[in-house]
Amino acid sequence: MNTVAPTPPELPPPLPEPAREELKLETVLAALADPLRLQIIQKLLLESEDYDHPCGWFGFDRPKSSLTHHFKALREAGLIRQRQYGLERRSRVRDEDLEQRFPGLLALVKSWRSPGA
Amino acid sequence: MNTVAPTPPELPPPLPEPAREELKLETVLAALADPLRLQIIQKLLLESEDYDHPCGWFGFDRPKSSLTHHFKALREAGLIRQRQYGLERRSRVRDEDLEQRFPGLLALVKSWRSPGA
DNA sequence: TGTTAAGTTCGATAAAACTCGTACAACGTC
DNA sequence: GACGTTGTACGAGTTTTATCGAACTTAACA
């Protein structure tokens, strides 16, 4: 019986991101201080169900260039990992890395009561 | 036998601050995103030993007007409580309020490894 | 009363950050 | 190849934030 974990089915490589050890609390907090970005992370945490999501999935009524800006900020701060699937760039929260470095932080985001709801 | 808690020995009233229920995660995170302010909170958490401290106690080599700016930012975000003692304005972390609203957040600040040390 | 010390307020400057339009690149499909 | 779709890159305008000097306020005290 072979108990080796199955090889993941060829994922596209992640876009450039800081390594786990490079994550800085100041930077992570600054990234989360923006309400839209907080909302992005919260939605991913609450609704993503193990799938990565392109930024259209979020349903924000904002110009695309604004969204690019915020997703990039999140990625560069180390909050999300992004992979390119054809045209789409899908995002997921780096929950393991974040929990390891900043335990409890994501729980706070999860239970955030956003002003808009 | 009287088990009533002793009346605290006449503290000066706190300067204006947001009530516990008014604390906003975005605002708190933004306040903590600045390295100097993060350092202020961390130092208070690690070394204050139940005393409030005037801003000279921190030993920052910055002009007074800069310090005023940051302490005010922390107070208005709800991170510290300040009381006036004669000429001094002493600060303490609002640990109970913060722990209640954002459990685990202060632990992250406590274990922060500041870039400068 | 005059001096010192802690801290504020105001104002100017400078550096970041947010917002978004326009133009562009890449991939799929007809 | 032309088109629609997803998203980026660049740049400009606007707002926020940080930094700090200078003048002021207040309390303590000799």
State the CATH number of the domain containing residue B67: 1.10.10.10
Q: Please, are residues B45 and B112 in contact by the beta-carbon 8 Å criterion?
A: no
In a domain, B21, yes or no: no
In a domain, A54, yes or no: yes
How many domains are contained in chain A? 1
In a domain, B36, yes or no: yes
Angle value at C-alpha B45, between B44 and B47, nearest 5 degrees: 65
Sign of the C-alpha dihedral computed for residues B94, B98, B103 and B107 taken in this order: negative
Look up residue A34 and give its two tokens: 């923006």
Distance in angstroms (rounded) separating the CA atoms of residues A78 and A41:
12
Output the pLDDT for position B9.
62
Nearest CA in chain A to B101: A108
Full residue range of the structural domain in which residue B75 is found = 28-110
Output the pLDDT for position B24.
97
In a domain, A60, yes or no: yes
Q: Do B38 and A25 make contact, defined as CB atoms within 8 angstroms? A: yes
Nearest-nucleotide field for B85 (CA, C1'): D27
User: Which residues in chain A touch residue B32, judged by CB atoms under 8 angstroms apart?
Assistant: 26, 29
In a domain, A9, yes or no: no
Q: Please, are residues B78 and B28 in contact by the beta-carbon 8 Å criterion?
A: yes
Residue A99 reports pLDDT greater than 80? yes
Output the pLDDT for position A4.
45
Output the pLDDT for position A52.
82
Q: Which nucleotides of C are covered by protein (CB under 7 A)?
A: 5-11, 17-23, 26-28
- What is the residue-averaged pLDDT of chain B? 91
Q: What is the pLDDT of residues B45-95, one digit of tens each?
A: 999 877 789 999 999 999 999 999 999 999 999 999 999 999 999 999 999
3-class secondary-structure state, position A71: helix
Look up residue B33 and give its two tokens: 């995103």
Q: Do A34 and B25 make contact, defined as CB atoms within 8 angstroms? A: no
In a domain, A50, yes or no: yes
Nearest-nucleotide field for A88 (CA, C1'): D6
Which residues surround strand C, with CB < 7 Å? A 30, 33-34, 36, 62-66, 69-70, 73, 86-87; B 54-56, 64-65, 67-69, 71-72, 87-90
In a domain, B65, yes or no: yes
CA B86 to C1' D28, in angstroms, rounded, equals: 8
Output the pLDDT for position B66.
98
In a domain, B56, yes or no: yes
